[in-house]
Amino acid sequence: MKIGVIGGGAVGAAVTSALVHRGFAGEIVLVDADDKRAEGVTLDLGAAVPLCPPVVLRSGGMADLTAADVVVITAGVNERGEGATDRTDPDGRLRLLERNAEIYRSLIPSLQMAAPDATVLVVTDPPDPLAELTRALLGHGRVVSSGTIIDSLRFRVRLAQAFGVAARDVQATVVGEHGVSEVLLWSSATIAGTPVEHGGQQIGLDLPRLREEVEQAVRYANIDIIAGIGASQYGIGAATAALTQCVARDERRVLPVAAHSERWATTLSLPSVLGARGVVRTCEPSMTAEEHDALARSAETLREAAATVLPTFPPGGQGHRPHALR
């Protein structure tokens, strides 16, 4: 199993490290515009290879991604570098879109030539409109955004802390945008099968206050992390490695990731069956009217953002049109 990682910055390095330790890949190739950075990351991580399951770890160029089964893209500028760390800014991560779309337009053609059959996992912020762009540029639907996987994990962890239970016994999902407009589905959140509202009442939690605190903590976790260490990297690195394994092994787990939705006419997160060729199908969960309306607003935000970067083709022109993807 061959995995490619494009981007050797904080997130790319964390993803590569997590992939090495998971042990399912036979070969991992790290590509970065700065060759020395990619070489340094693989040299550093390479010292740990004797302690891990066997793997060939190396740096390389885009041509070295030939025959990759999965390619993870983390390349791009981050929130700190582009000033996207203002909690009052309604755009949030979307401020990074124009700059990172330029980067994607430059690298996707080379990726298409090197690994036309790979399933592509987009992690760069903002991942949802960038996945929509990648899908259009590649001309196929084997494109997945990491979406709200990390937001959902943060939601679970915060609820676990509030209830004093193990996070694995909490089920809670975030849908829509990986960003400011994301929707935390409180109506379906459970603790070992018990609805959060019912369980909270049993132990005397102030539920309105809990909801406000958790919403803020999850929605703006990246800002808190960046303030401390400069980049949100370890959580998304571990989550991305888990998603990559799911694709590589065709595990078909149901996870909150993003793919293009015909119903919503954009890429957004819903509970999705994830396999070797990307998202097999999505499962729209039961929602309250309030949650559904919030999801509709999130979808509109993403449609408007994607429209600013999607390619346009003149009548009779060359290129792949989004509606004709295979």
Active site residues: 178
Sort strands 194-195 and 190-191 into parallel, antiparallel or unpaired.
antiparallel
CA gyration radius for the chain?
Answer: 19
27 contacts 3 by C-beta, under 8 angstroms: yes
Joined tokens for residue 297: 């607003």
Distance in Å from the first CA to the final CA of the chain: 24
Q: Please list the helix, strand and coil fractions of the chain in percent, rounded to the nearest 5, in that order.
A: 50, 20, 35
Bridging pattern class, strands 119-122 and 70-73: parallel
Task: List beta partners, residue 72.
Answer: 5, 121
Q: In the numeric block, which tokens belong to residue 258?
A: 């993003």
CA angle at residue 300 from 85 to 246, to 5 degrees?
75
- Tokens at residue 286, please? 């039961």
Phi, psi of 173 (to 5 degrees): -130, 140
Q: Where do the H-state alpha helices sit in the chain?
A: 10-22, 35-46, 79-82, 97-114, 127-138, 149-163, 196-202, 207-219, 221-229, 234-248, 289-307
Does residue 226 contact residue 232 with C-beta atoms inside 8 Å? yes
